């Protein structure tokens, strides 16, 4: 009787470990799906390949899935597309050029005060 119970327990533990490993390797794919990652299929296929490479590439797969977010893309700030970022930078450059032109055309109200010359160092006679 105990032999059958032990055999059943071994089969159950084996199945749980087998499916547990598969579920564990699907975590990056599930992250990619939830983030609407553009490389979902590649991440899913690489997860299966990771099973056969003894999990060596799985941490990189996790990082790959975590890098992309739908609201900000691959970047780290808000604003999404690279074109929007380029437009913001061009606007900032234009504003800086306007400020520089305004500073260059403005005449100083009074000349800067001249500084008195620094005293000359005294030679050491004891050395």
Reply yes or no on whether the pLDDT at 119 is more than 90: no
Q: Where are the alpha helices (DSSP H) in the chain?
A: 2-25, 27-34, 40-52, 58-67, 82-105
pTM above 0.75, yes or no: no
Spatial CA neighbour of 56 closest among 14, 25, 22 = 25
Burial class (CB in 10 A: 0-12, 13-18, 19+), 13: exposed
Reply yes or no on whether the pLDDT at 51 is more than 90: no
Beta bridge partner(s), residue 26: none
pLDDT band at residue 72, thresholds of 50, 70 and 90? Answer: confident
Structure tokens at 71: 């609201």
């Amino acid at each position: 009787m105990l032999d059958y119970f032990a055999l059943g327990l071994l089969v159950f533990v084996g199945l749980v470990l087998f499916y547990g490993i598969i579920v564990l390797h699907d975590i990056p794919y599930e992250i990619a799906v939830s983030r609407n990652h553009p490389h979902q299929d590649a991440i899913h296929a690489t997860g299966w390949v990771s099973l056969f490479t003894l999990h060596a590439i799985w941490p990189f797969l996790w990082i790959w899935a975590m890098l992309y977010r739908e609201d900000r893309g691959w970047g780290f700030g808000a604003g999404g597309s690279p074109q929007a970022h380029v437009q913001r930078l061009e606007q900032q450059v234009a504003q800086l050029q306007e400020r520089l032109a305004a500073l260059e055309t403005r005449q100083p109200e009074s000349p800067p005060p001249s500084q008195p010359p620094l005293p000359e160092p005294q030679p050491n006679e004891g050395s």
